[in-house]
Structure 1
């Protein structure tokens, strides 16, 4: 498998054509990354080095300063987006949450995002974030290297389930498996907290079928499309063609996500691969705007 991929920045103009052609007012992207600049620089350096959790050459298509990244995203017609932050060690989450709260306060189209880590005080600071207006949480099981069934997290999952605030969780084993990735650990969380509004990042790649089954079993489980079905991912973790129709069965719970800016191809490609499924314009309208608008109360 070649590690090279073309970055089609020249195709950015097709983004607006895509959503206008569907009669949408724009896009809602539930999986974008805005972080403190020094954290983002370290993330980019990790991708540049094809670190162990990445495992392959991964050029960053939108390596710009924060203001320019925001301008690009808004230029695409993205009406609401997130600042997916995630800690990899104790003591980091509270600081990231403070930054994300400030970022959302000065960036009205960003859904205030928060995160957590299994550590002393986690239930208290998650409750503080909920009280402060956090609208979505990020859980990165792969990078964090933690077991989502850790007892210290049980009250966190419980309060999030009660609040109905979505949690975007990278719990699948792509691009490289972690000690606690895969469907089994998060399935145990859902068994204890069946009302948890879990958004499975990357549609659970590569365990797509297992996560589709979790979505069928739990009516509050959603899937985000982040990087799934793209040519870059299909090389290593193809979505089973025979299962594509099941995306219609959970069509009201599939959400568009891009991983912007940390993607190795143009933004338009992430949308065009959804159209390539041939699941219909009604499905595309729901995935690219309607489902996210309903979930987050975006007008």
Structure 2
């Protein structure tokens, strides 16, 4: 007689088969996911507790964590899915956290070679110094969370850091849209001010900028180094709350070389494969899907 654990393992194995069928059907060697979360376990558990409580930053939504597993299980699962490279998106909510988080992330990257070495930042004294330190130790992508950190991305204290990142050509994945709940400095206007000062910054707008999709598409059309990640966009969960405008799909197609797969794994309230299915049903074509799910990120990170 099978146990509940056996049933869970069977479901995971079935999903892995579905995910692999998706990318093998496109003729890809696997997936590259630029928006996955790995952080110190006690920090991640605090994040999960916040989701469980339906806190204000997630709009009080019911948000079950689908992949509530230990770190080793989560990395193994991404590999089972065929994710060739992923990130450890982590972020501070107050001063004094970023450098410590960067130290953890550097160690995680050393012991997890398929993770793109991730770092973060916060508007505080010394931010330029520890951003340079992170770059010197091999950071390949940064995470900025304007909503959780409650800071203006154009804050004067961050200007040196943005300049360093622009000069290095290091991508910055930024949660700057006003979904699932607006923050004091979310939305396109602060980001537009940032890009006016640092037009070469390789900014990756998380969640397609939801719900200000069209405004962030406009910034990508204006600035050649701006990209967007698909995290949670187009899924049934997000479409029920913040639907992507159908008349903007042609603009999305035209930006096909600057859209990157992101999922928010493990903090998603549905199976991983659903993000892929949601992209497929947009009907943008096989070449677009190949680029979004692998080739664009492979070019950006020289993989």
Unaligned stretches of 5+ residues in structure 2: 1-10
Q: Does 1:39 align with 2:43?
A: yes
Which residue does the alignment assign to 2:233?
228
Which residue does the alignment assign to 1:203?
208
Q: Map 1:218-297; keep pairs closer than 5 Å.
A: 218-297=223-302
**2 CA distance for matches of 1:152 and 1:171?**
18
1:62 to 43, 63, 67: 67
Partner of 1:50: helix, strand, or coil?
A: coil
**2 CA distance for matches of 1:25 and 1:184?**
38
Q: CA deviation at 1:12?
A: 4.0
Which residue does the alignment assign to 1:169?
174
Unaligned stretches of 5+ residues in structure 1: 1-7
Paired residues, number: 292
1:52 to 36, 51, 56: 56
| 8 Å CA contact retained: 1:170, 1:200 | yes
Q: Map 1:144-159; keep pairs closer than 5 Å.
A: 144-159=149-164
Partner of 2:35: helix, strand, or coil?
A: coil
**1 CA distance for matches of 2:127 and 2:230?**
29
Partner of 1:23: helix, strand, or coil?
A: coil
Q: Deviations over 1:75-117 (max 9, x none)?
A: 0000000000100000000000000000000000000000000
Q: Does 1:129 align with 2:134?
A: yes
Q: CA deviation at 1:57?
A: 0.3
Q: CA deviation at 1:19?
A: 0.1
Q: CA deviation at 1:11?
A: 3.7
Which residue does the alignment assign to 2:105?
100
TM-score by length of 1: 0.96
Considering only aligned residues, what root-mean-square deviation do their CA atoms show, in Å? 1.1
Partner of 2:86: helix, strand, or coil?
A: strand
- List 4+ stretches of structure 1 deviating above 6 A: none
| 8 Å CA contact retained: 2:66, 2:266 | yes
1:72 to 69, 77, 92: 77
Q: CA deviation at 1:190?
A: 0.2
**2 CA distance for matches of 1:71 and 1:132?**
25
**1 CA distance for matches of 2:173 and 2:24?**
27
Which residue does the alignment assign to 1:5?
none
Q: Deviations over 1:197-235 (max 9, x none)?
A: 000000000000000000000000000000000000001
Partner of 1:244: helix, strand, or coil?
A: helix
Partner of 2:57: helix, strand, or coil?
A: coil
| 8 Å CA contact retained: 1:12, 1:266 | no
| 8 Å CA contact retained: 2:16, 2:80 | no
| 8 Å CA contact retained: 1:12, 1:267 | no
**2 CA distance for matches of 1:110 and 1:71?**
12
Q: CA deviation at 1:13?
A: 2.6
